[in-house]
Amino acid sequence: MGLFPPTGLEYVATSAKDLVDRLTMLDLRYERSLCNIDNLLDFIKKENVDIICISISWDRQFQKICDMLNHFPDNIPLVVGGYKATEMIEELFKTCPKINIIARGEGEETIKEIMKGVPPENILGISYRKDGKVIHNEARPLPDVNTLSNPDRSLRRNKYTMRLNGVKTMSMTFDYVLGARGCPYTCKFCTFNLNPLGQKRNYAPRTIESIIREIEGITADGILFADDNFFVNAKRAEKICDLIIERKIKKRFIAQTRIEISKHPELLKKMVKAGFKILLMGIESPNDRILLQLNKGFTSDDVRKSFERLRKFPMYYHGYFIYGNITETEEEMMNIPKLAKEIGVDSIACSKLRIDKYSPLNDLAKGTPGYHVTDRGEVYSDAYSHPALKRIGKRMKFTFYTPARLIKISWKLIAIRLLTLRDIGSFIIASPLLLRNVIAREIEKGRLAESLKRIFISNK
């Protein structure tokens, strides 16, 4: 959707800005014209760019990004970083011969040394080419989060709003705040609290006052707390809410959390008063044996009891689920929309299981007959191929997202005042163009009739 800025890249750019004469930061989700390699090369030449730094955070469009890197000028140093770059060091160096350095893990301190001209052999946390070989320096110790400068938002070339199928659908603007790095939990499917080197990022919160100061300086309407779980420490979260209320900060907040937040009714009351509108919650599975396999630390009955309490508070609840787990049957996967409707979540996102390089689920997958993990971490089995899992994913989506559900979602967003009249007006104005683009996309993919049938006739 292009909803939020590339905050990780902004942290690194902010660390580098005082060490260069001029710094330009591009978000190619918005800079569509520069996605054309000829236009991008013209930009690099006109701006007299003398070092290029690229962030690759996900494997989406990975090959397209590699193709772009291979067109860059030979005479300009190319530094690559980001989560996916760190995970795929060998593949990137092999596929992209123009890469000089890969900055592994958190890059704020590494970029400073690169820009200062420190010899590569003396820079911790990088891999680089030398005499036709790839050299891997020792890992850099993870920095204290309270020593990092807040992202310099003046580096942005665009505002961040909701865009669907290339259409700006509302006037509400969005931003990120990172209140902590790392997570104290040990869910087996998640490697976000491990960087791709296998280093564990222990839970490290920023000071409360620094978070509030950053929020006060943000002009966007909505703020997502990008922490893996913003409410790890309930007392700390209460103090943040107290200060937001006390200082009359009028923002709409979104945060990620776990179901355990339901045990803190006083915190939930303060969250509503402070302007928290959406909670993003990792539920993962309706099946107890899968929850145990993933080491979630709760049962499906815990989920039901938690949402009995949560439904008393006027916020929007979005549930994350994982399907295609090891030994999971289609019947068990289809329990996801059933549980979601039962507990009253407002919306869901269902993702196929992925197993990254350092995931503890690797051993389970390798030891289970008939299961396979691709180089990109995609999991499939002899019983459930990629197409079969895709079909099941569609069934889950259309079983949950009926026309009545979409109307209910719209009403809920209005009722909790996430959307203002101005936002609603913007969406109505954009709707014809949005609908046209959706129909064009479905026609292009040859599935318009199938999609209409699933939405309006059958969800089987």
Looking up tokens 């946390």 gives 125
Q: What percent of the chain has pLDDT over 90?
A: 67
**Could you give the C-alpha distances from 41 to 44, 52, 70, in angstroms and in order?**
5, 11, 12
Nearest-angstrom CA–CA distance, 360 and 442: 38
pTM of the model as a whole? 0.89
Amino acid 286: pLDDT: 97
Buried b (16+ CB within 10 A) or exposed e, 393-421: bbbbbbbbbeeebeeeeeebbeebebbee
Measured from the Cβ of residue 73, the count of other Cβ atoms closer than 10 Å reads: 13
- Sequence ranges of the chain with CATH classification 3.80.30.20: 159-444
**Average pLDDT over the chain, rounded to whole?**
91
Q: What is the pLDDT of residue 193?
A: 60
**Predicted local confidence at residue 382, as pLDDT:** 96
Task: State what percent of residues in the chain have pLDDT above 70.
Answer: 95
Q: Give residue 142's pLDDT.
A: 85
> Given pLDDT bands bounded at 50, 70 and 90, which one contains residue 59?
confident
The C-alpha atoms of residue 399 and residue 416 are separated, in whole angstroms, by: 25
Write the CB contacts of 228 (distance below 8 Å, at least 6 apart in sequence). 180, 182, 183, 185, 190, 192, 193, 256
Res. 436 pLDDT band, cuts 50 70 90: confident
pLDDT tens column, 85-106? 888 888 899 999 999 999 998 8
Class of domain 159-444: alpha beta
Q: Higher pLDDT residue, 407 or 427?
A: 407
CATH class of the domain at 7-145: alpha beta
Each residue's pLDDT tens digit, 300-324:
999 999 999 999 999 999 999 999 9
User: What is the mean pLDDT of the segment spanning 210-216?
Assistant: 96
Give the pLDDT mean for 431-435: 83
pLDDT of 186 reads: 82
Q: What is the pLDDT of residue 377?
A: 86
Q: If we measure between CA atoms, which residue out of 30, 4, 26 comes closest to residue 166?
A: 30
